[in-house]
Amino acid sequence: MTNQVLKAFSLDSAPVYCEKYGFGHINVTYLVVTESGRRYILQKINNSIFKDVPGLMGNIAAVTKYLRTMIDDPRGVLTLVPTLDGADFLRFEDGSYWRVYDFVEQSICLQAPESPEDFYQSAVAFGTFQQQLKDFPAATLCEVIPNFHNTADRYRIFREALAADVCGRAASVQEEIAFALEREEEAGTLVNMLAEGKLPLRVTHNDTKLNNVMLDEVTRKPLCVIDLDTTMPGLSLYDYGDSIRFGAATAAEDEKDLSKVEMDITLFETYTKGFLSACPGLTENEREMLPMGAKLMTLECGVRFLTDYLNGDTYFRTHYEGQNLDRCRTQFKLVADMEGKWAEMKHIVAECSK
Ligand code: ADP
Ligand code: GN1
Ligand code: MG
């Protein structure tokens, strides 16, 4: 099918290679190589998760066009390859949605930092992304997934899954359920502050995993931020927090041996420095809430993995039975670890804010 799909796009020459690529949990990504040797990324957009694909693609087209005016290196922003009809995406005859990007060449994409400097540079990348979009007209973006990082609402959905228990899995995960419920009261902290006008609404990426940033393979400095599907109005703390959740962890998101899973406080400090240096305009409240951003994004992600486990693994792509439960457990271990390091996290943020 990908052959048929590729025919609809304005590639430089005929495709000679097309294979699955990368480690995303949501879309299906392919690496495409054409006769000339040029490389592209083809993606089948997950339209059961993203209900409004034209709206989503409108966001990506607008944001990438805006960012392009601010950069010199063409690799500094994702470049959509149009269809032969000049559209930004294709709706294929079977109802599936597809898009093509130029491959970001001479780049690296990491699943875990290979050095603190790599992690620092990813912080600079996400901080810069937010800084560059500070005057972007946020109201023109559609809310791709409503309440995406509304942690309180994620709990509501979790409670529904728990009550339905469609797979009969709840009984076997009582410990995880209790862990989540013990922290439910905190879930509304950031959304409440937003509602009270104590935190500003910004244009944010909302999925700031380390593998959503490309670094130059030679300089290891940031090239661009990718995976723009969830770019929409949000809180700076979502972007900061999700990066800590994923990149400051000492083990993979689905590590089974929880003794290996910690939040590395040195990496926490490294990221905080990089993010604040690239994004100096954060308000005092935003800076003060950075540790809470890290904790709530991690807790929320754990709750989402647990919800998906209860629902029978219908949202996140899994490669083995129980992977979502493993993912949930690493997130909860990280939350517990952050709670133990809370005073230190606060201290680091205060020092980096001086
Ligand atoms: P998902 O939403 O499923 O995570 P991504 O857009 O993050 O999908 O793509 C998955 C992976 O494909 C990325 O982590 C990265 O390794 C690779 N990738 C995506 N876009 C590009 C690109 N334009 N150039 C090079 N690699 C890319
Ligand atoms: C998904 O698309 P990907 O794999 O970068 C998810 C994020 C989660 C992440 C957990 C649209 O991100 O919200 O934090 O998995 N994206 C969506 O690894 O739900
Ligand atoms: Mg991704």
Atom of ligand 2 nearest to the CA of 206: 13
Cβ–ligand 2 contact at 209 (below 6 Å): yes
For residue range 173-210, what is the model confidence (pLDDT) as tens digits? 999 999 999 999 999 999 999 999 999 999 999 999 99
Q: Whose CA is nearest to atom 12 of ligand 2?
A: 25
> How far is Cα 201 from Cα 192, in angstroms, rounded to an integer?
12
For residue range 134-144, what is the model confidence (pLDDT) as tens digits? 999 988 999 99
pLDDT under 50: residue ranges of the chain: none
CA distances from 252 to 71, 101, 317, 334 (A): 33, 27, 16, 11
Cβ–ligand 2 contact at 212 (below 6 Å): yes
Half-sphere exposure of 189 (CA within 13 A, CB side): 21
Cβ–ligand 2 contact at 230 (below 6 Å): yes
| Range 153-158, long-range pairs (CB < 8 A, 24+ positions) | 153/191, 154/187, 154/300, 154/303, 154/304, 154/307, 155/180, 155/184, 155/187, 155/303, 157/307, 158/303, 158/304, 158/306, 158/307, 158/310
Ligand 3 ion: nearby residues, β-carbon < 5 Å: 24, 212, 227
Report which bound ligand comes closest to the CA of 226. 1
> How far is Cα 280 from Cα 266, in angstroms, rounded to an integer?
21
Work out the widest C-alpha separation in the chain, in whole angstroms.
58
- Give the type of residue at 176: E
**Mean pLDDT score across all residues of the chain:** 97
CA distances from 341 to 83, 122, 331 (A): 50, 23, 15
Q: How far is the CA of 210 from the centre of ligand 3 (A)?
A: 9
Atom of ligand 2 nearest to the CA of 209: 5
pTM (whole model) above 0.85: yes
Cβ–ligand 1 contact at 66 (below 6 Å): no
Query: 151-164 and 174-182 are packed helices; what angle lies between their axes, rounded to 10 degrees?
Result: 150
> How far is Cα 243 from Cα 87, in angstroms, rounded to an integer?
32
Which mutation among 49, 304, 316, 318 tests ligand 2's pocket best, with the greatest number of atoms within 8 A of CB? 316
